[in-house]
Amino acid sequence: MKKLSYEKLDLDIYTETLKNGLRVFLCKIPRNEIHARMTAMFGGSTLEFKLKGEKGFTKVPAGIAHFLEHKMFEKEDYDPLQIYERNGASANAFTSEFITSYHFTGVNNFFENLNNLLRCVHEPYFTYENVEKEKGIIAQEKKEDLDSVYYIVHDKALMNTFKNLDYKNTVLGSLEDIASITKEDLYNTYNTFYHPSNMILTISGNIDIDGTMKFIKDYYSRHDFGKAKEIEIKEKDEPTKVVKEKEIIYKENQTKEIYINYKVKKNNKLDDRYLSRIYMNIYLAMKFSGLSELSDITTKDKNFLSGINARMEEVGNFYILSFNVTVKDDTDMAVKLIDDTLKDMNFDEHRFDLIKKANLNSLILSTENVGEICSMIVNQMRLYNGLVTNMYFKLFNLDFDAFKNFIKDIDLNNRCVVILEPKKGDN
């Protein structure tokens, strides 16, 4: 095992890559709980792929990563969730655009729970009957989204932002996608992406490092997964321009919902991807967080029925800056306020320092939480292919002038706006 230490955070990570390619990260902290997470580096935005040496790409329906997540809990002769419950552990799973994670939190019977986690992800059981049954369950979940004003504008904004990238598809897929998924699709996708070499196991909490690593190695010594698989994801060119700049949707509703995506080409003048993300998130925080001037405006203006939710995601060669807000009447005013606020390149150094301190405090607190430690490790491996052990110093040494220099050249002229309006007569 190799020991890596997060500087100034009193956090040590013990890591080893097993012969089958599984990357294991163990962290011991004095907490009366343990969180274990197995993550497949496969999410809802990957739909065309092949293994090295294969001629053509396989294309699968949107929503298959989420469908696969559901099916991994169904086994022929046991129920993984009942085992967790019997041992007093809480367990769940989630699928994002980029990963699928299975996890549990609990202290009692830890090794039985860990064995259960490993069995759960490594023992697929798909039949025609249980796949058809699951379609109905997931279709119902999708129908609930189709009735949600948030997901209506969110999903339409994705479609109006991206022309070619599969990120435009929702994680659940469409009802047609869900209905088209077959047992063969699931096995093909599982066999490609659920090999240990494409997975990360993270465990944090009151664990014995050596004993836990021995248990993991013993488990995998009894299973032959074959050679590590080299997966090639189909690359797709994506234009800078959004597909559609504005769309209005009419639905029976009492309020108006707005969703805006800014499609921002990545700034290439900073090689440090971690710092680039930090700068972009500080930019949003300075303009739209509770520490911003805007929060006071939206609180006092009766047109705003919610605060303006802002977030950033990296998708291919783009930063996607997303904004969602619910208003009573004037959508044009709300859209203009967001646009003007975002394009205002005047920044207050005092506010910058406050947000910098808030980020440092948040980082320190996150290292006290067993689940957040595992999330941090997975996110850093996905984004940077390694742990950012000096991130405390990167945050501590953030420079106001360097921040302004990074932000000033971003192009905010490519955006799509989706507005959900009440049908006439519904106001």
Per-residue pLDDT at 377 exceeds 90: yes
Active-site positions read: 69
Q: Answer yes or no: do 191 and 255 share one domain.
A: no
What mean pLDDT do residues 14-37 have?
A: 96
What does DSSP say about strands 318-327 and 256-265: parallel, antiparallel, or unpaired? antiparallel
CB 353 within 8 A of CB 285: no
pTM beyond 0.75: the answer is: yes
151-160, 163-172, 238-247, 296-305: the lowest-pLDDT one: 296-305
pLDDT at 425: 61
Would the pLDDT of 424 be above 80?
A: no
Percentage above 90 pLDDT, the chain: 92
Residue 427 domain flag: no
- Structurally, how many domains does the chain consist of? 2
Roughly how many angstroms between the first and final C-alpha of the chain, as a whole number?
64
Residues 202 and 250 in one domain: no
| Residues 209 and 250 both lie in one domain | no
The enclosing H or E element of 213 equals helix 209-221
* 406 located within any domain: yes
Q: Is residue 241 part of a domain?
A: no
**pLDDT, tens digit, for every residue of 72-82?**
999 999 999 99
Query: Does one domain contain both 113 and 209?
Result: yes
- 42 lies in the same domain as 179: yes
Query: Can you tell me the mean pLDDT for 170-174?
Result: 96
pLDDT above 60: residue 388: yes
Residue-number span of the structural domain to which 166 is assigned: 2-233
Q: Please name the residue that has the structure tokens 């595992």.
A: 374
CATH number of the domain that residue 75 is part of: 3.30.830.10
Looking at this protein, which amino acid is placed at residue 207?
Answer: I
- Cα three-residue angle 338-344-350, rounded to 5 degrees: 110
**What is the β-pairing status of strands 34-40 and 100-105?**
antiparallel
Shared domain check, 253 and 220: no
- Is the confidence at residue 322, as pLDDT, over 80? yes
The answer to whether residue 225 sits within a structural domain is: yes
199-205/34-40 β-pairing: antiparallel
How many C-beta atoms surround the C-beta of residue 26 within 10 A? 24
Least confident range of 31-35, 110-114, 294-298, 376-380? 294-298
Using one digit for the tens of pLDDT, what is the confidence trace for 147-165? 999 999 999 999 999 999 9
Query: Looking at the predicted structure, is the pLDDT value of residue 414 above 60?
Result: yes
Local structure of 148: helix, strand or coil: coil
